[in-house]
């Protein structure tokens, strides 16, 4: 009695205990779901000790969280009428009074810097004392603002288009907590919507806290969409193939328990739900259904053969158990390779996926035979699908093609390889923070609005360490910073920078009675007496603290980026680094370019470098499985070619269809490879069994294996194709691309495994058709008892 026969006996004899055990584990994991929480920070794709992370953390230590700015924009000519102008400013005052808000900056807050000659200090005067009541007064304020206060240009207004902008700074301590979400949804959005309704204007909202909150909500909504969609579509396809409500119900029960476990493991491991981990539950449904296809198909074949339920159930476990275990382990290992990547985002995804794939296998192996053991035998109508004419025609066509069209198969393979390689050279890399965001959503359109009007919303920071206290306010340092500012202004992808330099220029303008032509850095002669005014004054201390630390050693230059990819960002970085190297000698200054957006772009490049590693590791692991199972070097090569080919086609398609490599699409290759190898294992397992049965005659063995496994492989591939297609319902560009690409790759893998794999076996028959080369496998993938049964 072999191992799997013993396992079958234990499961069926202790079926009540097994079901109780599953129920207890499911209840325990369900209780862990309360610890599930959504991520309130951007995904950090880099290892913690990466240079970009260390630089960013140093910046945060000195200046605190930089992603706490929400911006409101209004582009409406009627805003410069007394009613709307005053309403706009009172809207900002509403926010100023809220406990979640640190401070706001709007036209209502504009203070003119003036020089008090008698007391030799700067004082602040409001732009206007009383609310304007006439259009003339509003136009006068607009004129002063646009013509005489260049400090606020691009900060509070765009004088070319008349667009106004208001900055709302959320308290840094709540920015990465659930309180941020509550503020955005329960306070900010309702107030803005009410304002729009009352005054018939369109207010644009953006800024990283706002975008991240709406994005997280989208992920939350889509988990429900994906799980529901995957359950529905797999149930419909399953019923179409099997025409049995009972089989469909059992399959849905298995995958629903699997989904509960998946959510439970997220809570148990205390992982946050990110755009990647949100894919796990629907992924488990899509991967779990093929297990049910193989098990239920085998049960129905056995019933049709001899009509004995106990024998049929025992054979389902003993004959399909090992092959299904191996296919699930290869799939899990494809995902498990991410565990070796230093990115915590991918590592968590790899752990969750591999644990859940093994879990869904165990659930299917236990639940399906046990539930069938309580049910009456399937009726004849439930077994009719085993003899369906159209599937018979598909299998016949495959057999004839392999028999008579092998040259055409090889020619098509070579053509596909050439086209794939051409496509690979067209692939571009994208490190955009917002490229994947839903294009149809209002907040994406608002991002584009702010990019056009103010140059972007994603902060890019230049962090300057002068290596000595009060080093920032030296004129030599300020001039170097101004050079850097001028370089930043040459890039259309970046907004006008803001730093202490702007404040010093404004101080000189104030000293010269507010004349805008003096909005420039002081000369060395002017410096001492202008700075003496600054020392006596506290008027601009608040703003100064935003750009210079309390010791005067560290400074920041803040600019905002448009939605640009890694190529453009690399060019910008190189130019900035060249200016930094020239202006800031390394022995006197330490200057780094940082910010969330830049860390994300560097993270994308890091992932791409690791993609080759994780995919190579997956291929190596699966090659080792093949070597261990079949003990044949030739079989490793023959089994890997049909599975690497679809990956090449997918990479080629990404190049031709301009789908960039990014964190979401990187997963395509490992997912598709891990799953497509399953078909190869099922085919080769059956092929080896047929070889022994047919006394090592290749041709009859290949055709018999093709007919036997073709139906199940066809069924499972169709289920997987439509299952992954559910992801194209997403509003995230990356998830749509992931779903479409994996679907296409798995369909190509099925064709490759059913046409190219048998063709290769037949072509190389002389080299592999002997017992020495194709030795006894290390594991009995299909028990010898199967040899007694005639192949279909």
pLDDT tens digits along 644-682? 888 898 889 899 988 888 767 777 887 788 778 888 877
d(CA 230, CA 288): 11
Closest CA to 224 of 264, 253, 263, 272: 263
Strand partners, 153: 157
For residue 383, the tally of other CB atoms under 10 A from its CB is: 17
- Beta strands, E only, 414-497: 458-465
- Strand (E) or helix (H) holding 676: helix 663-693
d(CA 132, CA 138): 6
Cβ proximity of 584 and 540 under 8 Å: no
Cβ proximity of 208 and 175 under 8 Å: no
Closest CA to 316 of 627, 712, 736: 712
Q: Which CATH architecture does the domain made up of 3-42+213-422+600-788 adopt?
A: Up-down Bundle (1.20)
Tell me the pTM.
Answer: 0.77
* 104, 499, 575, 578 from 582: Cα distances, Å: 37, 20, 11, 6
For residue 264, the tally of other CB atoms under 10 A from its CB is: 23
Q: Is the dihedral of CA 117, 118, 124, 128 positive or negative?
A: negative
**What is the per-residue pLDDT for 486?**
92
How is the chain split into domains, by residue range?
3-42+213-422+600-788, 68-107+138-203, 443-594
**What is the per-residue pLDDT for 538?**
54
**What is the per-residue pLDDT for 418?**
93
Closest CA to 46 of 615, 596, 661: 596
CA max distance for the chain:
110
Below-70 pLDDT ranges, the chain = 1, 40-43, 66, 380-388, 431-433, 533-544, 565, 629-630, 663, 765-792
The alpha carbon of 68 is separated from its chain's Cα centroid by a whole number of angstroms, namely: 23
Closest CA to 639 of 650, 649, 628: 628
Q: Which two tokens stand for residue 304?
A: 């049709």
Cβ proximity of 100 and 188 under 8 Å: no
Q: Which two tokens stand for residue 157?
A: 């207004």
CB-based contacts of 3, cutoff 8 Å, min separation 6: none
**What is the per-residue pLDDT for 707?**
82
d(CA 347, CA 344): 5
The alpha carbon of 415 is separated from its chain's Cα centroid by a whole number of angstroms, namely: 32
260-276 tens-digit pLDDT = 999 999 999 988 887 77
d(CA 342, CA 405): 47
**What is the per-residue pLDDT for 507?**
86
* 282, 403, 646, 663 from 656: Cα distances, Å: 28, 33, 15, 19
Closest CA to 224 of 167, 191, 289, 273: 273
Whole-number CA gyration radius for the chain? 33
């Amino acid at each position: 009695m072999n191992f799997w026969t013993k396992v079958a006996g234990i499961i069926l004899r202790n079926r009540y205990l097994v079901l109780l055990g599953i129920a207890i584990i499911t209840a325990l994991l369900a209780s862990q779901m309360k610890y599930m929480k959504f991520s309130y920070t951007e995904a950090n794709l880099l290892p913690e000790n990466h240079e970009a992370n260390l630089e960013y953390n140093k910046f945060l230590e000195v200046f605190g969280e930089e992603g706490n700015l929400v911006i409101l924009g209004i582009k409406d000519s009627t805003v410069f009428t007394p009613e709307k102008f005053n309403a706009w400013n009172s809207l900002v005052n509403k926010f100023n009074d809220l406990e979640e808000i640190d401070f706001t900056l709007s036209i209502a807050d504009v203070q003119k810097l003036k020089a008090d000659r008698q007391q030799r200090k700067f004082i602040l005067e409001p732009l206007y004392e009383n609310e304007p009541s006439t259009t003339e007064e509003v136009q006068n304020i607009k004129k002063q603002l646009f013509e005489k206060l260049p400090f606020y240009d691009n900060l509070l207004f765009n004088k070319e288009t008349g667009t106004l902008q208001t900055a709302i700074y959320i308290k840094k301590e709540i920015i990465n907590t659930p309180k941020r979400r509550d503020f955005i949804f329960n306070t900010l959005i309702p107030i803005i919507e009410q304002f729009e309704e009352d005054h018939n204007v369109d207010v644009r909202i953006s800024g990283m806290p706002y975008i991240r909150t709406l994005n997280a909500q989208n992920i939350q909504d889509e988990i429900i969409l994906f799980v529901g969609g995957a359950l529905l579509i797999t149930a419909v396809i399953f019923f179409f193939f099997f025409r049995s409500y009972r089989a469909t119900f059992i399959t849905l029960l298995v995958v629903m328990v699997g989904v509960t476990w998946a959510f439970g493991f997220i809570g148990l491991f205390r992982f946050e739900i990110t755009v990647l981990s949100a894919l796990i539950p629907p992924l488990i449904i899509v991967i779990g259904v093929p297990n049910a296809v193989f098990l239920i198909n085998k049960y129905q074949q056995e019933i049709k053969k001899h009509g004995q339920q106990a024998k049929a159930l025992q054979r389902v476990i003993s004959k399909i158990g090992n092959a299904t275990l191996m296919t699930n382990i290869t799939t899990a290992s494809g995902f498990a390779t991410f565990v070796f990547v230093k990115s915590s985002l991918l590592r968590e995804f790899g752990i969750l996926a591999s644990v859940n794939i093994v879990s869904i296998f165990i659930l299917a192996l236990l639940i399906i035979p046990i539930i069938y053991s309580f049910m009456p035998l399937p009726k004849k109508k439930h077994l009719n699908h085993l003899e369906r004419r159209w599937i018979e025609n598909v299998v016949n066509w495959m057999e004839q093609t392999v028999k008579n069209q092998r040259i055409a198969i090889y020619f098509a393979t070579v053509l596909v390889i050439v086209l794939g390689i051409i496509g690979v050279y067209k692939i571009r890399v994208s490190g955009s923070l917002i490229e994947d965001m839903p294009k149809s959503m209002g907040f994406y359109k608002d991002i584009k609005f702010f990019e056009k009007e103010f140059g972007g919303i994603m902060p890019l920071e230049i962090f300057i360490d002068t290596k000595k206290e009060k080093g920032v306010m030296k004129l030599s340092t300020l001039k170097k910073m101004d050079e850097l500012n001028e370089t930043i202004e040459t890039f259309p992808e970046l907004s006008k920078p803001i730093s202490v330099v702007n404040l010093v220029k404004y101080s000189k303008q104030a000293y010269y009675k507010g004349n805008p032509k003096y909005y420039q850095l002081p000369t060395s002669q002017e410096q001492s007496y202008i700075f003496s005014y600054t020392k006596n004054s506290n008027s601009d201390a608040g703003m100064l603290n935003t750009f210079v630390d309390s010791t005067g050693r560290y400074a920041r230059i803040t600019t905002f980026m448009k939605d640009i990819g890694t190529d453009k960002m690399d060019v910008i970085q190189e130019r900035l680094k060249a200016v930094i190297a020239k202006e800031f000698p390394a022995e006197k200054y330490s200057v780094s370019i940082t910010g969330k957006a830049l860390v994300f772009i560097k993270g994308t490049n890091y992932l791409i470098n690791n993609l080759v590693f994780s995919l190579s590791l997956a291929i190596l692991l699966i090659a080792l499985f093949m070597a261990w199972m079949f003990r044949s070097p030739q079989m490793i090569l023959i089994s890997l070619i049909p599975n690497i080919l679809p990956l090449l086609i997918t990479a080629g398609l990404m190049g031709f269809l301009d789908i960039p490599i990014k964190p979401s699409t990187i997963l395509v290759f490992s997912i598709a490879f891990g799953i497509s190898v399953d078909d190869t294992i099922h085919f080769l397992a059956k092929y080896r069994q047929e070889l022994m049965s047919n006394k090592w005659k290749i041709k009859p063995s290949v055709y018999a294996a093709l007919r036997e496994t073709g139906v199940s492989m066809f069924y499972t591939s169709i289920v997987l194709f439509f299952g992954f297609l559910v992801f194209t319902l997403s509003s995230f560009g990356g998830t749509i691309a992931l779903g479409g690409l994996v679907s296409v790759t798995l369909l190509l893998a099925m064709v490759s495994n059913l046409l190219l794999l048998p063709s290769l076996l037949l072509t190389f028959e002389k080299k592999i058709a002997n017992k020495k080369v194709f030795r006894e496998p290390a594991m009995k993938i299909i028990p010898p008892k199967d040899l007694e049964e005639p192949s279909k």
